[in-house]
């Protein structure tokens, strides 16, 4: 052990890195450490002061951003399915809007498609039902016409209420017409024309004796009127399909509250 200590001391003296001019390579100077630590403290204090001076709304937004990013990056399966179906519905509705304006591919047939849509409007049907009710002289005819008038009024109120709740706009920026404003049919979901023609066709099929060709024509008329609203760009495909469903439900509602002949006669006498 005593002999090994002089040998180690000799090696330390002979080591070039132990000289004074090379000490800075082995160990950092204390002045540098102190300057670095002071700069870090100053930067930390400046960052803390900036965070204190920042707006509390910005701090809340910065805290919420990671959660929002996580929600966007990890949506639920229902959200993905709903957004995908909605995108397909909008894309297909825009493609089928061949009469949305004069510059469309079928722009020349826009007037004819609008005329077809008028056949399913509520105002002409209400006016025609009132005229037939005034001229009707049979109790059975008056009973059917009074319930038909009730069904038309319920259709307008139910569709207007649902549209006000949904407030969905059509695939194209098309202003509603005067008749649409009268029946409060200003939004897209559900399609008022589709619900009305579905209700009317089901009503006539149940309460009128029609030949088979007339029954087929009645169903085709309802389908054409419904999808004509997609062609002129007023409604999406889902708006029309939901309109058909609501029209059938309205027919079932009218069947449940069907007014008897005595009730109809009492209302006619009051009127």
pLDDT score for 107: 79
Q: Is residue 101 part of a domain?
A: no
Assess whether 121 carries a catalytic annotation: no
Q: Could you tell me which residue, 3 or 196, shows the higher pLDDT? A: 196
CA–centroid distance for 238 within its chain: 10
- Per residue in 11-22, pLDDT (tens digit) is 555 554 555 544
CA distance from start to end of the chain: 129
Is 29 contained in some domain?
A: no
What pLDDT is recorded for position 158? 93
Catalytic residue check, 236: no
Q: What is the C-alpha to C-alpha distance for residues 157 and 149, in angstroms, rounded to an integer?
A: 13
Question: What is the total count of domains within the chain?
Answer: 1
Enclosing domain of residue 228: 113-270
pLDDT digits (tens, 9 = 90+) for 119-162: 999 899 999 999 999 898 889 889 999 999 999 999 999 999 99
pLDDT digits (tens, 9 = 90+) for 45-73: 544 444 455 455 455 554 544 444 444 55
Q: Residue 166: how many CB atoms within 10 A of its CB?
A: 14
How much of the chain is helix, strand and coil, in % rounded to 5? 75, 0, 25
Average pLDDT over all residues of the chain? 79
Which of the residues 121, 207, 235, 236 is marked catalytic?
235
Between CA 265 and CA 255 the distance in angstroms is: 18
Q: Is 243 among the domain residues?
A: yes
The verdict on residue 207 lying in a domain is: yes
Q: Does residue 90 contact residue 236 with C-beta atoms inside 8 Å?
A: yes
User: Is 77 inside any structural domain?
Assistant: no
pTM above 0.75, yes or no: no
What is the structure's pLDDT at 103?
Answer: 79
Predicted confidence at residue 179, as pLDDT, reads 76
Query: Does residue 48 lie within any of the structural domains?
Result: no
The answer to the question of residue 27 being in a domain is: no
Residue 11 is predicted with a pLDDT of 58
Residues 92/237, Cβ–Cβ less than 8 Å: yes
pLDDT the model gives residue 222: 95
pLDDT band at 171 (very low <50, low <70, confident <90, very high): confident
- 43 found inside a domain: no
Q: What is the structure's pLDDT at 209?
A: 85
pLDDT in tens, 172-229: 877 777 778 887 888 889 999 999 999 999 999 999 888 999 999 999 999 999 999 9
The owner of tokens 């179906």 is 85
């Amino acid at each position: 052990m005593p002999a090994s200590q002089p040998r180690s001391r000799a090696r330390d003296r002979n080591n070039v890195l132990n000289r004074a001019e090379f000490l800075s390579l082995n160990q950092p100077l204390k002045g540098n450490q102190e300057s670095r630590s002071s700069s870090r403290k100053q930067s930390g204090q400046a960052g803390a002061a900036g965070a204190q001076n920042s707006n509390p709304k910005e701090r809340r937004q910065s805290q919420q951003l990671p959660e929002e990013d996580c929600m966007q990056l990890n949506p639920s399966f229902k959200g993905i399915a709903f957004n995908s179906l909605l995108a397909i519905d909008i894309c297909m509705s825009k493609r089928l809007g061949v009469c949305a304006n004069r510059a469309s591919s079928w722009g020349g047939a826009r007037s004819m498609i609008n005329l077809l849509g008028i056949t399913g409007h509520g105002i002409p049907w209400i006016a025609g039902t009132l005229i037939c009710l005034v001229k009707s002289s049979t109790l059975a005819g008056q009973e059917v016409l009074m319930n038909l008038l009730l069904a038309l009024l319920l259709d307008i109120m139910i569709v207007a209420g649902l549209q006000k709740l949904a407030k969905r706009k059509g695939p194209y920026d098309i202003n509603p017409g005067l008749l649409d404003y009268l029946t409060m049919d200003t939004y897209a979901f559900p399609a008022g024309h589709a619900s009305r023609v579905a209700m009317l066709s089901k009503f006539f099929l149940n309460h009128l004796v029609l030949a088979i060709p007339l029954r087929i024509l009645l169903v085709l008329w309802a389908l054409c009127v419904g999808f004509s609203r997609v062609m002129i760009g007023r409604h999406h495909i889902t708006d029309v399909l939901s309109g058909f469903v609501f029209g059938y439900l309205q027919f079932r509602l009218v069947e449940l509250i069907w007014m008897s002949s005595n009730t109809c006669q009492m209302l006619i006498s009051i009127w």
